[in-house]
Amino acid sequence: KMQRNRDYSRSRYQRGSRYKNLDEGRNGKERRFGKREDGGESSEFSRKLCHKNENEASYSKRKDGREEYEKNLNNKSGNVSECDRYLGKSDSEFHTQQSDVASIQKKPVDSLLSRTGGAYIPPAKLRMMQAQITDKSSAAYQRIAWEALKKSIHGHINKVNTGNIYIIVRELLKENIVRGRGLLCRSIIQAQAASPTFTHVYAALVAVINSKFPNIGELLLRRLVIQFRRGFKRNDKTICISAATFVAHLVNQRVAHEIVALEILTLLIESPTDDSVEVAIAFLKECGMKLIEVSKKGMDAIFEILRHILHEGQLDKRVQYMIEVIFQVRKDEFRDHEAVMKELDLIEEQDQFTHLITLDDAKDSEDILNVFKFDAEYEANEDKYSSLRKEILDEGSSNSESGSGSEEESDSGEESENEESRDDAIIDKTETNLMALRRTIYLTIHSSLDFEECAHKLMRMELKPGQEIELCHMFLDCCAEQRTYEKFYGLLSQRFCQINKIFIPPFQQIFRDTYDTIHRLDTNKLRNVAKFFAHLLFTDAISWEVLSFIHLNEEETTSSSRIFIKILFLELSEYLGLNKLNGRVKDPTMQVAFEGLFPRDNPKNTRFAINFFTSIGLGGLT
- The list of the chain residues with pLDDT below 70 reads 1, 3-8, 11-120, 130, 394-431
**pLDDT at res. 21:** 54
pLDDT of residue 183: 93
Q: What does the pLDDT read at residue 377?
A: 86
pLDDT the model gives residue 263: 92
Name the DSSP letter for residue 448.
-
User: Phi, psi (5° rounding) for residue 35?
Assistant: -115, 135
List Cα–Cα distances, 217 to 177, 255, 256, in angstroms: 12, 7, 9
Hey, do 141-369 and 434-621 end up sharing a CATH topology, with the first three levels equal? Answer: yes
- Return phi, psi of residue 36, to 5°: -90, 160
* Residue closest to 441 by CA, chosen among 460, 458, 419, 464: 458
User: Which residue stretches of 313-431 are H helix?
Assistant: 317-331, 378-403, 411-423
Instruction: Report the candidate in 339, 341, 327, 231 with the shortest Cα–Cα distance to residue 281.
Output: 327
Per-residue pLDDT tens over the stretch 415-437: 444 444 444 455 555 667 788 88
Spatial distance between the Cα atoms of 315 and 307, rounded to a whole number of angstroms? 12
272 burial class (0-12, 13-18, 19+ CB within 10 angstroms)? buried
Span 467-476, pLDDT tens digits: 888 889 899 9
Residues shown for the chain:
622
- Main-chain phi, psi angles of 41, to 5 degrees: -85, 140
- pTM equals 0.50
CATH code linked to domain 434-621: 1.25.40.180
CATH assignment of 141-369?
1.25.40.180
What residue segments make up the domains of the chain, in order of their start?
2-77, 141-369, 434-621
Sequence-separated (6 or more) residues with CB below 8 Å from residue 348 = 462
pLDDT of residue 600: 83
Separation CA 111–CA 297 (nearest Å): 58
Say how far apart CA 511 and CA 40 lie, in whole Å.
112
Work out the angle at residue 113's Cα, subtended by the Cα atoms of residues 110 and 116, and round it to the nearest 5 degrees: 105
The neighbouring-strand residues paired with 355 are 256
pLDDT in tens, 32-91: 444 444 444 445 555 555 555 555 555 555 555 555 555 555 554 444 444 445 445 454
Amino acid 35: pLDDT = 45
Orientation angle between helical segments 214-233 and 199-212, nearest 10 degrees? 140
Q: Which residues contact 521 (CB under 8 A, 6 or more apart)?
A: 480, 529, 560
